[in-house]
Amino acid sequence: METLIILLVGVLTAVAIYLVLSKSLIRVILGTAIFSHAVHLLILSMGGLKKGTVPLLGEEAPSYVDALPQALILTAIVISFAVTAFILVLAFRAYQELGTDDLEEMRGVNDE
């Protein structure tokens, strides 16, 4: 199971890298979102994938899952949510101001 998830992480990362390296700003943003999904899956599988109940006192279960990766992922999701939201707004403003969403045209050498 872990192997399968790791392969999935690899595929997602490859997709994300392809998108981030493209010229269109909106694709770059989608790429960063997929990046964060990939790494969240990686963290989850690093904690070990197994069947079990929540690690709470009073749950008399034969096995428990590791709660820490889940807590880490939740925090990471919140952060990536905030960052993605910010960069979306930024991209929109930049598009309004600069009149382009092509990163090639944003290199900006001439006007300085």
Partner 1 sequence: MMNNIVLLPMLLPILVGVVLIFLRAYGRVQAWFSIGVMAVSAGIAFYLLEQVQTNGILRLDFGGWEPPFGILFVADSFSLLLVLTTAIVATIILLYAMFSAGKFLQTTYFYPTILFLIAGVNGSFLTGDLFNLFVCFEVMLLSSYVLLTLGGNKRQLREAIKYVVINIVSSWFFLVALAYLYGAVGTLNMAHVSVRVAEAGQGPLLTTVSIIFLIVFSLKAGLLLYFWLPGSYSAPPAVTSALFGALLTKVGIYALFRVFSLIFYHQPEITHTIIGAMAALTLVGGSLGAIAFNDIRKIAAYNVVIAVGFILVGLAVSTPNAVEGAIYYLIHDMVIKALLFLLVGTIISLTGTAMLDKMSGLMKNYPLLGWSFFITMLSLAGVPPLSGFIGKVLVSEGAVESGSYGLLTLALLSSLFVLYSLLRIFKNSFWGETIVSKEDQVPLKKTLLIPCLLLVLLTVGLGLGTELISGYVTDAAETLLNPDIYIDAVMGGGES
Partner 2 sequence: MKINDVILKTVSKAAVLIIFTFGIYLFLSGHNEPGGGFIGGLVLASAFVLLFLSHDSETISDAIPLDFKKISALGVLIAFASSTVPMFFGQPFMSQSFGYFDLPIFGKTELATVTVFEAGVALTVIGVVVNIIFSISEDE
Binding mask 57-76 for partner 2 (x = CB under 8 A): -----------------x--
Q: Does the footprint of partner 2 cover residue 83 (CB under 8 A)?
A: no
Q: Does the footprint of partner 1 cover residue 32 (CB under 8 A)?
A: yes
User: Which range of residues in 15-23, 25-33, 42-50, 88-96 is near partner 2 by CB under 8 A?
Assistant: 88-96
Q: From the list 89, 98, 100, 106, which residue makes contact with partner 2 (rule: CB under 8 A)? A: 89
Residue 49's DSSP bridge partners are: none
Q: Does the footprint of partner 1 cover residue 112 (CB under 8 A)?
A: yes
Q: Identify whether the C-beta of residue 64 lies closer than 8 Å to the C-beta of residue 55.
A: yes
Sequence letter at residue 56 = L
Q: Does the footprint of partner 1 cover residue 69 (CB under 8 A)?
A: yes
Phi, psi for 62 (deg, rounded to 5): -65, -30
Paired tokens of 96: 């309004």
Of 102, 76, 78, residue with least CA distance to 91: 102
